[in-house]
Chain A
Amino acid sequence: MPHSASKRNARLVLGLALLVAVLGNVAAKRLFNPPWLSPDRRIIGEKFRLLREGPADVLVLGDSSAAFGVNAGVLGEALGQTVHNLATFGRFEVAGSAWTLDEYLARHPAPGTVLVVHGARTWWLEASGFDLGLLPLEPGYWARREPRRSVSLQALGEFALDRWAPLYTQHRSFAAGLRGRGWAVPERPEIGVGGTLALVLTEEEARWSNPASFVERFVKPELARRVPGLPLRQRQAAEALARRAEAGGFDLVFVQAPQWDGLESVPEHVAVIDEVQAFLAHLAAASPRVHVVAGGPRGFPTDAMENPYHLLGAPAEGYSRDLAVALRALPLASRD
């Protein structure tokens, strides 16, 4: 049989191929409920479910150091208040906390206190389009909400891929499923009451868990590339949070997240913490609604950490009790 070729056939082949690719992704999105096919999506899905579920006296926003380090149940019990931990990932930058808070305020009355807990690393991270796609918000939300944020063409492409090509962005889960290895629905970390993430390391993980190697592999190279000074987008996001506190009449408390004590011997990291503390102090001085827990980040030994910024379950409970004490020491208007 000869090859049959015509312009019509060429167009038909290309059109059909693209249609198959598009339909495959649409089907994957509809049939397999992709938010549950990756750990990050599962966590964000749970946090936003909690956000929609109901009001709380205290909200915890921030990055994964807050998600792991602040135990909502323990903190709530110590304060005698309901606490929801809506913290997600540092990759969403400080702006991620502001956007999450907006979603909450659109549904519920303002909470009494909002805790914003960020590790030092979050202050230099920059969200990619793939990250922006993870937040379950309408396309282009970054340009419509405060703080407004511009994104590059590449990030726009990544966002589109993340939203509309789940076979691409969640390929590991789909590949595992198609190969009969079970859908890679992640069950860890455990998401506890109030949205707290808890990870109990297996014996093998505990053997290999090593904050020092994380610092060498990620933190130090990132610090070496960092331009000194806090990025404008991060400062603007923190200022936007402060404006919301003023407008909403709630207390905004910034906390520098707990961290591995080995980071205290990394001068570049210490410099970032000092910059953050100075900036937050300046912000607090400008508004009676903004507070900062004094003393900078609290250090923990290696066996208390999964990585330099993630506390394990038991130390997180202790840290949360101490945090409650620190909060009580602050002159919060919401307690009056």
Chain B
Amino acid sequence: MQFNSWIFPIFFAVVYAGYLGLGMGRTRAQNAWLLVASWVFYGCWDWRFLGLLALSTLIDFVLARRIEASDDERTRKRLLLVSVGTNLGILGFFKYFDFFLESTVRLVERMGFQPDVTTLGIVLPVGISFYTFQTLSYTLDVHRRRMPATDDLMSFALFVGFFPQLVAGPIERARQLLPQIQNPRRITAGAVEAGVWLIVWGYFKKTVIADQAALVANPIFAGWEGARGLEPLLGVLGFTIHIYCDFSGYSDIARGLAKLMGFEFMLNFRLPYLATGPADFWRRWHVSLSTWLRDYLYVPLGGNRGGPWRLYRNLFVTMALGGLWHGAAWPYVIWGSYHGALLVAERFVRDVRGGREDSFGLVGEWTRIVLFWPLMLIGMGIVRCESVPQFLSLWSAQSLELTPRATQGFGTLLYFTWPLVVMQLAQHFSKDLLVALRLPVVLRGLLVGLLLLAMLVFGVREPVEFFYFQF
């Protein structure tokens, strides 16, 4: 069941009515209701994978309690390794088994052998990368004694499987979400207003901007051999708009739904296309993942301890593995490595200049934003291309020729993207991501109404799957 399917609004209306009907004082009854709803939501894709979700939930619930109960560091570590091994084992099997097998076969073939191996054609359970990292962070935090293990299985199951963020994040931390699940919640007028705004804006970004941009970009990547002139740039630009509006749209809807129910999710995007450099970009893009990677991979690797070269290594390895998290294909690994290299280069320059954090004025800030765009676009091109030859072909085919398709495509992107640009500039200069809520109430109502009308007229009808579902 996707947020942009017909059935979802009906599903949410039923769930929300039941949730409110149970009464805000009856937290456990509400949690039970939300858990059932979440499993129904997930089971709509493939009920068989509910078993995996339950397995992940149960393993980490039990192991975290045993970790907490033990004072012996070796036992605690062993239990943690069981949790990490099981979770990553499941993720590795479903997501990476075929990839590594195929890669190995290709390598062996290059060495002159003809191995008789067939891949298993394993179906990737939707959202597995998200909920695996979410549940892992809980065990890791308990192991680090940053939070107590919970003895409430139902609350923990809801933490792992809460439907708004189950399949595409934000990757929540137990420290933040579990207390919200276990304690009575309040739904304030402010939360409702913010929630409604986030939902409407998220749907607008997804169905109007992202899906229309995809209609521009996808044919270029599908027929990449024939792309010429500015068409490769158009394709990459279209994808850049598509992936951001698609993913941040999903995150906005998830956060909005959560607010309507009295929950507060992590912020996942902070205007990433206004980043002044690679490090700034990763402080703004998919924040719940980048902070996860920082806390549970980069820091354990040594972080910035042990001298600059270890720091560079840790940065690079973290980003390369972050790339692999996104998908079991070499373009993702290359994309992660590319961003790792950018981060290392940026850090190197900073170190050479004595580690100073530059303060730059408005002109300096915008110069950096503009200068970072080409580097970011290259990254987007890498992650969108299905193969290295495709990327190289598009790269070499581009020129400044404004073909008719490019003219039309840029026009379409401009037509659908200007509301995003206006909104992001307002958010940036006001330093307020919910700047729309500052509008007088009548203007706010009109704006929401206009967005609804725009979705009716320009929204792409066929439910186009959210891009990040494949991760």
Instruction: Name A residues whose Cβ lies closer than 8 Å to a Cβ of B.
Output: 1-7, 9-10, 12-21, 24-25, 165, 167-168, 171, 174-175, 178-179
Contact = CB atoms under 8 A, between A and B. Distances in A.
29 contacts: A1-B438, A2-B438, A3-B190, A3-B437, A4-B437, A5-B192, A5-B194, A10-B196, A13-B441, A13-B444, A14-B196, A14-B445, A15-B445, A16-B444, A16-B446, A16-B448, A17-B446, A20-B450, A20-B452, A20-B453, A24-B449, A24-B453, A24-B456, A167-B453, A167-B456, A171-B457, A171-B461, A175-B457, A178-B457
Given A4-B441, A5-B437, A175 B458 contact: yes
Please classify the interface of chain B as helix (H, G, I), strand (E, B), loop, or mixed, using the class held by over half of its residues.
helix
Contacts of A168: 456-457
A21 B456 CA distance: 9
Given A13-B448, A16-B444, A17-B449, 11 more contacts: A3-B193, A3-B437, A3-B438, A5-B193, A12-B442, A13-B193, A16-B445, A16-B446, A19-B449, A167-B453, A171-B461
10 cross-chain pairs, A with B, having the tightest CB-CB distances, nearest first: A20-B449, A16-B445, A5-B190, A17-B448, A3-B437, A17-B449, A167-B456, A13-B445, A21-B452, A24-B453
Interface string B182-212: 0000001110111010001000000000000
Nearest to A169: B456
A21 B458 CA distance: 14
Contacts of B442: 12, 16
Contacts of B448: 13-14, 16-17, 20
Contacts of B450: 20
B435 to A, nearest CB: 9
B122 interface: no
Q: How large is the interface on B (under 10, 10 to 19, 20 to 34, 35 or more residues)?
A: 20 to 34
B153 interface: no
Interface of B: 188-190, 192-194, 196, 200, 415, 434, 437-438, 441-442, 444-446, 448-450, 452-453, 456-459, 461
A78 to B, nearest CB: 45
B193 A10 contact: yes
B452 to A, nearest CB: 4
Contacts of A19: 445, 449
Residue among A2, A9, A18, A19 facing the most chain B CB atoms (10 A cut-off):
A9
Nearest to A23: B449
Contacts of B189: 5-7, 9-10
A20 B453 CA distance: 8
A12 B445 contact: yes
Contacts of B196: 10, 13-14
